[in-house]
Amino acid sequence: MVLSVPAAAVTLLVVWIYPSYALYFHIGETEKKCFIEEIPDETMVIGKYRTQLWDKQTGSFLPSTPGLGMHVEIKDPDTKIILSRQYGSDGRFTFTSHTPGEHQICLHSNSTKMALFAGGKLRVHLEIQVGEHTNNYPEIAAKDKLTELQLRVRQLLDQVEQIQKEQNYQRVSKEAIRGVVSSGCSGLRLTALLFVWQYREERFRMTSESTNQRVLWWSIAQTFILIVTGIWQMRHLKSFFEAKKLV
Amino acid sequence: IAVPLCPGGRCWWRWAFLLCGWVLGSELTFELPDNAKQCFYEDIIIGTKCTLEFQVVTGGHYDVDCRLEDPDGTTLYKEMKKQYDSFTFTAGKNGTYKFCFSNEFSTFTHKTVYFDFQVGDDPPLFPNENRVTALTQMESACVSIHEALKSVIDYQTHFRLREAQGRSRAEDLNTRVAFWSIGEALILLVVSISQVVLLRSFFSDKKTTMTRVGS
């Protein structure tokens, strides 16, 4: 198949503007792929996907196939379904979390062209953006008419807000965060604070591991003692009764 | 002049969008069932600095096999039963890079794996900005704060994953201790009852013998 130069230029322009969902994976016909997002509450999540079907004739993936659909199902931390919808071969879904925790995003194909699926391969490009990554800064700049510096500060504010929300979700003192941020020396102090938490977490993990080991060894020892005591009891009593000429 | 759309099956125009200069990174947490292998693919252009980071969040012994291959199939990174790792490389060739996570060594534990695959730099704030003038002091301060905050968010993510992992281990332990306690209580009951039964059988034997001697 050949293209003339103007058509090639148009194609180049189209793919330049066309969003590139870089990462992709293969999915089977009835396979369900689930992704987990652990997020604080009031966080926006945008998911974008693009599907491509394997074409046996050309031996490659077709750019886009109409009639191919994906069913998207999103569950909140209480396993309640908050979104369950059928999308086309290119889809964009969005939701805002109302409870903090693990949200599950499941995708499975609901293809109408089962015959074409004989090759068994469907390529899915996926991109999930969470929280402040969902903000489109050029759009915000145009809408609120911000200068470059104002936009940068706006981005920093969004980032700090996300950090704060995550920390609240992890139940760390809000006062500590506010005090550190307002003191003006942002990145370094926050990193230092995080190292403290990491150290605490490391200590907690080592304690858990040692507890695990201790419980295991104690259980084994206890079983052993129990069996030995039982056997000894039996033998002693038997010999006792034999001695007393009762058996 | 005619330009072939897909000469020899290789579509040149797929690389065109990558010439924009910015490619987004991908961060996903997915479920890996037992005896399963999950592969992800990404098209990367030569010279791009990429980082692959993964961590097992829940499941079994919290380990997974990971393998990263370049477009020719050469293994760039291969580790078996790793809990957490980070690998940085510079793309030596244009093409599709593939990385796979395998849980084939496990017979019945599902795993939840988190990975973060960063390709290239972040997109600039202003796509059409011209880099003719140098950044002012305020702007460069903002840029350095932005970088620092990005690393804070990164640490936060790892902290959150470790917390989830710790919680999962604690819950596992709790379940196992509960089952063990129930099992041990049952064993205790069985042993004590059989002890009593055995003792009684000693006495009943002796009674029969005495009766036979008597008559």
Pick the closest to residue A104 from A49, A42, A32 (CA basis).
A32
Other C-beta atoms closer than 10 Å to the C-beta of A25 total 18
> In angstroms, what separates the C-alpha of A190 from chain B's closest C-alpha?
7
pLDDT tens, position by position, A64-112 = 667 778 899 999 988 999 999 988 888 899 999 998 888 999 998 876 6
- The residue whose two tokens read 């750019």 is A63
Please write down the long-range contacts of A209-215, taking CB distance under 8 Å and 24 or more positions apart.
A211/B173, A212/B169, A212/B173, A215/B173, A215/B177
Specify burial of residue A175 (Cβ count, 10 A radius: 0-12, 13-18, 19+).
Answer: exposed
Mean pLDDT (whole number) for B120-136: 70
Tell me which chain A residue has its CA closest to the CA of residue B203: A247
**What whole-number distance in Å separates Cα of residue A233 and Cα of residue A225?**
12
- Residue spans of the domains in chain A: they are 22-132
Q: Which pLDDT band holds residue B97 (cuts at 50, 70, 90)?
A: very high
N-terminal to C-terminal alpha carbon distance within chain A: 101
Mean pLDDT (whole number) for B16-29: 60
**What whole-number distance in Å separates Cα of residue A158 and Cα of residue A163?**
9
pTM tops 0.90, yes or no? no
Q: B173: which chain A residues are within 8 Å (Cβ-Cβ)?
A: 208, 211-212, 215
**What whole-number distance in Å separates Cα of residue B106 and Cα of residue B84?**
17
Q: Which pLDDT band holds residue A25 (cuts at 50, 70, 90)?
A: very high
- Name residue A38's amino acid: E
Which stretch, A58-67, B41-50, B179-188, has highest mean pLDDT? B41-50
Mean pLDDT (whole number) for B27-48: 92
Assess whether pLDDT exceeds 90 at residue B38. yes
> In angstroms, what separates the C-alpha of B75 from chain A's closest C-alpha?
19
Rg (CA), chain A: 30
> In angstroms, what separates the C-alpha of B144 from chain A's closest C-alpha?
9
For A151, phi and psi rounded to 5 degrees? -65, -40
Assess whether pLDDT exceeds 80 at residue B123. no
Q: B19: which chain A residues are within 8 Å (Cβ-Cβ)?
A: 16
Q: Which pLDDT band holds residue A147 (cuts at 50, 70, 90)?
A: confident
pLDDT tens, position by position, A153-208 = 999 999 998 888 888 777 543 344 444 455 545 555 566 555 555 555 666 677 77
Query: Taking a contact as any Cβ pair under 8 Å apart, which residues of chain A between 131 and 150 contact chain B?
Result: 137-138, 141, 148-149
pLDDT tens, position by position, A107-133 = 988 766 554 555 667 888 999 998 878
Tokens of B159: 């902290």
Beta bridge partners, A85, equal A72
Tokens of B202: 């000693």
B143/A contact by beta carbon, under 8 A: yes
Whether B9 and A5 lie within 8 Å, measured CB to CB: no
Look at A7-16, A28-37, A105-114, A235-244 and tell me which has the smallest mean pLDDT.
A7-16
Assess whether pLDDT exceeds 70 at residue B198. yes
Whether B206 and A230 lie within 8 Å, measured CB to CB: no
Q: Say what the pLDDT of residue A106 is.
A: 93
N-terminal to C-terminal alpha carbon distance within chain B: 125
Q: B148: which chain A residues are within 8 Å (Cβ-Cβ)?
A: 186-188, 190-191
CB burial of A62-76 (b: ≥16 within 10 Å; e: otherwise) equals beebeebbbebbbbb
Q: Say what the pLDDT of residue A171 is.
A: 58
Q: Say what the pLDDT of residue A14 is.
A: 40
Whether B6 and A1 lie within 8 Å, measured CB to CB: yes
SS (H, E, C) A1-13: CEEEHHHHHHHHH
Q: Say what the pLDDT of residue A15 is.
A: 41
Q: Say what the pLDDT of residue A168 is.
A: 77
Whether A16 and B139 lie within 8 Å, measured CB to CB: no
Q: Say what the pLDDT of residue B206 is.
A: 54
Q: What is the mean pLDDT of chain B?
A: 80
Look at A13-22, A121-130, A209-218, A224-233 and tell me which has the smallest mean pLDDT.
A13-22
ipTM above 0.85, yes or no: no
Q: How many residues does chain B have?
A: 215
- Name residue B170's amino acid: A
Whether A149 and B162 lie within 8 Å, measured CB to CB: no
Which stretch, A8-17, A82-91, A172-181, A226-235, has highest mean pLDDT? A82-91
A51/A168: higher pLDDT? A51
Specify burial of residue B95 (Cβ count, 10 A radius: 0-12, 13-18, 19+).
Answer: middle
pLDDT tens, position by position, B40-57 = 999 999 999 999 999 999
A22-132: what CATH class?
A: mainly beta
Look at A35-44, A48-57, A137-146 and tell me which has the smallest mean pLDDT.
A48-57
Tokens of B112: 């939840």
Whether B2 and A223 lie within 8 Å, measured CB to CB: no
User: Which of A5, A36, A162 lies closest to B29 in CB terms?
Assistant: A36
> In angstroms, what separates the C-alpha of A150 from chain B's closest C-alpha?
10
Alpha-carbon distances of A22 from A217, B10, B121, rounded to whole Å: 49, 17, 14
